[in-house]
Structure 1
């Protein structure tokens, strides 16, 4: 049977390193770690698992470090992981079959399951799905999204990493006369669950390296895309980010991620027409179709083009109800709620309010759905409905503003005693709230 080695670059990865090693220790025949300057217990943990640790001075070049970790590998195949990643049990059962494959296959792509703290997010054209995984490190994640690249490949002198950042071996596999294929292997990635301060520091560092990479390869649309994302994450410079996204699209008209991000920037600046134009260039199906119709619905609503918004939200909901949209309950209820809100704005109050109630019943944890329901009740001139909904929202979203809103709505109905009770309860949770103090005084 063909042998397999684990190759990694690590710096201060001790927090997750044991979990990573345990997920693969029954599978691999060799472990090589290129340590780029750890000051924690990374090296000690690596040696506990029998790893060869190779000191690797950091040169702001990921491919160079990857290749340092690759050089001592003597097995037939190589698996590449990071300290914030691990393999699920099913992957360790699948890899032995893959590595005894046809001699024409030089590598396999694997699917990275990226865990997020947010319920509705996405990456690289994929929407995040509700997280139901039982993995201990994923317990704090509300959703996950997926992307793929080649992390399992033959050990061959002509197969090595290229690229200062977002490095890969795919081009070298093809240049060596092999092909690479997709696999059903998942790699679990927990990096996006890191503490905010650590994540921010990492983004600032990525900014520096990505800038160097763009200077070295100015015709690479993927690097321009990443540069734009770094401008936002590290520098909060959305106009400079827009220039980067536009350059990525200029270099590759099929770069749908660039279209999405161009639209997002214009939308954030309330430049509705260029945002509509950008989102309109996306495909009509799959996750990108959902992204397209959802965004166009939001833009039409903001521009007070309610009938068009209603059409777009209807198309988004149809896509979300398809079999391919499993795991998107939070997004489904959001679109259902927005569709109901536009129906109220179009004068279809009864149908719209019922749709808004349905969205809340399906998932009462989404605060924005309550907000839309309350606004819709006000639009429909049903103050009692708005007040009832505001109090119901307090059971799930008891913020200072929510207490103020609920009390103020009761005051508008001249229900001073109820308003005072709400204000008193709110002050127990937020005793220094000037707004609640004022509402309490008004209800006396």
Structure 2
């Protein structure tokens, strides 16, 4: 049954025939219309969109995401706009909250929590993807297109409006899955676009944060640090941007390495008044640094805080297990490894370290079973580690005799 809400889906796409059906199917019974702007597909993307009930329009790509997104807004009929990309899906459980919040007469923008599936860093982000269809709310910035700039300008003129957020995860983003991660060529194209924006906005903190993070991805650590530090000099800083600047600086100083500076920036990031779920990886990275430095007590606190924020944070269970094992709490470590495996049955490292601690307490049978599982999983995804385990003299003898 179609939900009774005046809500339009608005998308820009290009060559997304594989991902688009999953995206549109996640919202087709939630919105009143689906507007899809194709920017030059050479595959069946437009036909698939039409087949799923979308209104399809066309726009020549001009290397500017905001220009394309603003073109798509011209065709929107609903009072509210939901923006998705083809590699995203809306979570069904969030729909009642969306239904409720857009009944408000005060909100101009609702920020949504997005889960970054498969991301090695920052598993959650806050994105401005649900907003009122207002003539003064449009996208800006050629690469990281967003409506935030126009919303802030509107708030200074029309003070009746408010910006809100939904605290629960609203969408899943699959752009970090194997095979979907941006190629270096794509990263360099993003770099060119953002550097062009930076040339005319040299101290703009948001682009300093995003481009600084991109420099880190490209291995240009010193250039990243210079830009991230520049972002911190802005007169006014949104707390979410301030969090990102310090978080990226923590990542950068790890690579130098300057562990004291990395710890300082993670701690400063954690102090920012942003949604706790956005701080998850800062807590985890801080825990990793403290554990490596031998400060197991505070590492434990960091991991436990991360798990309080997200009880399904698999890496947190694994890292806390490693910490408690180092502290001599073997039974607790075993329970944590098992919890990590329960959430992610393909967690080879958790099986591997479960095997180690089982051997430490003398449970040879369960140790062997855990090691066999670890080797089998490593053979699929990390054959070098699988071979290293098979070549280990003590382990190979243990496996051969049992």
TM-score of the superposed pair, with normalisation by structure 2:
0.76
The yes-or-no answer on 1:205 pairing with 2:222 is: no
2:112 to 110, 113, 129: 110
Deviation for aligned residue 1:97: 4.5
1:283-432 matched pairs, under 5 angstroms: 283=270, 286=276, 294-296=284-286, 298-300=288-290, 302-303=292-293, 306=294, 309-320=295-306, 322=308, 324-341=309-326, 343=327, 351-353=328-330, 356-363=333-340, 365-367=347-349, 370=352, 391=368, 393-398=370-375, 399-405=386-392, 407-408=393-394, 418=397, 421=400
1:276 to 263, 271, 275: 263
Task: Using the TM superposition, give the Cα deviation of residue 292 of structure 1 relative to its aligned residue in structure 2, in angstroms.
Answer: 5.6
Cα pair 1:232 1:238 within 8 Å, conserved: yes
C-alpha distance 301-76 of structure 1, shift in aligned 2 (>3 A): closer
Aligned equivalents of 2:208, 2:147: Cα separation in 1? 20
Q: Report the 3-state secondary structure (helix = DSSP H, G, I; strand = E; otherwise coil) of the residue aligned with 1:243.
A: helix
Do residues 160 (structure 1) and 138 (structure 2) align? yes
In the other structure, the counterpart of 1:146 is 124
On the 8 A contact 1:58/1:65 being kept in 2, the answer is yes
CA distance 1:96–1:209, shift in 2 (3 Å) = same
Unaligned runs of 5+ in 1: 124-144, 344-350, 411-417, 426-444
CA distance in structure 2 between the aligned counterparts of 1:163 and 1:22, rounded to whole angstroms: 29
Distance in 2 (CA, whole Å) between partners of 1:19 and 1:244 is: 38
1:179 to 141, 151, 162: 162
Provide the C-alpha distance between the structure 2 equivalents of 1:260 and 1:386, rounded to a whole number of angstroms: 41
Shift in CA distance, 370/355, structure 1 to aligned 2, threshold 3 Å: farther
Aligned to 1:61: 64
Distance (Å, rounded) in 2 between the aligned partners of 1:321 and 1:185:
16
The CA distance in 2 between the partners of 1:30 and 1:291, in whole Å, is: 36
The aligned length equals 371
Cα distance in structure 2, aligned partners of 1:51 and 1:261: 39
Shift of 1:222: 1.9
In the alignment, the residues of structure 1 paired with residue 153 and residue 366 of structure 2 have an alpha-carbon distance, to the nearest angstrom, of: 63
Moved more, 159-168 or 175-184: 175-184
CA distance 1:352–1:6, change in 2 (3 Å): closer
Corresponding residue for residue 206 of structure 2: 222
Aligned partners of 2:115 and 2:173 also within 8 Å? yes
Contact kept, 8 Å, 2:115 with 2:169, in 1: the verdict is no
Taking a change above 3 Å as real, the CA distance of residues 356 and 8 of structure 1, as seen in their structure-2 partners, is closer
Q: How much is the aligned-residue C-alpha RMSD, in angstroms?
A: 3.7
Q: Are the aligned partners of 1:293 and 1:312 in contact in 2 as well (CA < 8 Å)? A: no
- Provide closer, same or farther for how the CA distance between residues 284 and 390 of structure 1 changes in structure 2, counting only shifts above 3 A: farther
Note closer, same or farther for the CA distance 1:185–1:155 as it changes in structure 2 (3 Å cut).
farther
- 1:65 CA displacement: 0.8
User: 1:262 maps to what in 2?
Assistant: 249
The change in CA–CA distance for 1:268 and 1:393 in structure 2 (over 3 A counts) is farther
Any conservation in 1 of the 2:321–2:337 contact (CA below 8 Å)? no
Alignment deviations for residues 38-68 of structure 1 (CA, whole Å, 9 cap, x no partner): 1111121223245443322222221111111
1:241 is aligned to 224
8 Å CA contact 2:221, 2:256 repeated in 1: no
Distance 1:337 1:161, change over 3 A: same
